[in-house]
Amino acid sequence: MTSPLGTPSFTVLIPARLASTRLPNKPLADIAGIPMVVRVALRVMSGVEGIRVVVAADHASILDACQQHGVEAVLTSQSHPSGSDRLAQACDLLALDDGAIVVNVQGDEPLIDTSLVKSVAALLDCEPTASMGTAAHPIDSVEDFVNPNVVKVVTDANSVAMYFSRAPIAWWRDGFMSGVASLPEPRPLRHIGIYAYRVGFLRLFPKLAISPIEVTEALEQLRAMWHGYRIAVHVTPTSPGPGVDTPEDLARVRKHFESATTSV
């Protein structure tokens, strides 16, 4: 389905959970006078015109903060075991059709590239056999390639994911005989944690059995692949803006907004 302007029509859902181990009350963290989750929503709204942006909150305080700034939000259960469960409930609360497309934008990325949101949403129009879409960019350092916190992805000829891993993939057989000192060409791909879903699949996904490889790698998207569902991948040449996971991340992002000439 497309909008009158010819671009794919979709809804952006931003899950927001108040509890956070490393940064308590993270969605409400103040960034130049505006709560972080609101910053994310306003950035997407200003960068992708004509779409619906909804925060899927787990606490009334997040709901109130969104309403105070004119951002649509729904209140979801606090007991969801994963973000996909929260998104599925949000789809039900919003009465979205199974054939609709939603894009999951994380609520801790106030510097997200909004063109990436549009590109990921367009994947499911271009790849009708895919149930999910996501993004990746070429890795530019050996340190990132060997870092298990940096998730890697390998794609096929149609830019559909073959595998995601915390391990260094693809493995350069000849070049890595003496250790990983340089990167192969083409460059390995780093996964970017943004997802597009067909709503019907998103409703089904939390009901799928957890897969063994998902548990081993601690990567939820491998559940979809293990059950035979396809994930299309948009490759962007540049890395995304930094997210906020720690107090140090928050300080850097605050500094960015305080020195910026615009409010969003």
For the chain, the domains span 1-112, 123-195+204-240
Class of domain 123-195+204-240: alpha beta
**CA gap 237, 189 in Å, rounded:** 10
pLDDT value at position 213?
97
pLDDT value at position 5?
40
123-195+204-240 matches 1-112 in CATH topology: yes
Alpha carbon 247 to its chain centroid, in Å, reads 21
Q: How many CB atoms are closer than 10 A to CB 49?
A: 10
| pLDDT per residue as tens digits for the range 213-255 | 999 999 999 999 999 999 999 999 988 877 898 889 899 999 9
Task: Report which of 213, 235, 215, 216 is spatially closest to residue 225, judged by C-alpha positions.
Answer: 213
Which residues does the chain have with pLDDT short of 70? 1-8, 261-264
Residue type, position 128, single letter: P
User: Which helix (H) or strand (E) is 35 found in, with range?
Assistant: strand 34-35
Q: Does domain 1-112 have CATH number 3.90.550.10?
A: yes
Q: What is the pTM of this model?
A: 0.90
**Residue 248, SS3?**
helix
- To the nearest 10°, report the CA torsion of 91, 97, 102, 104: 20
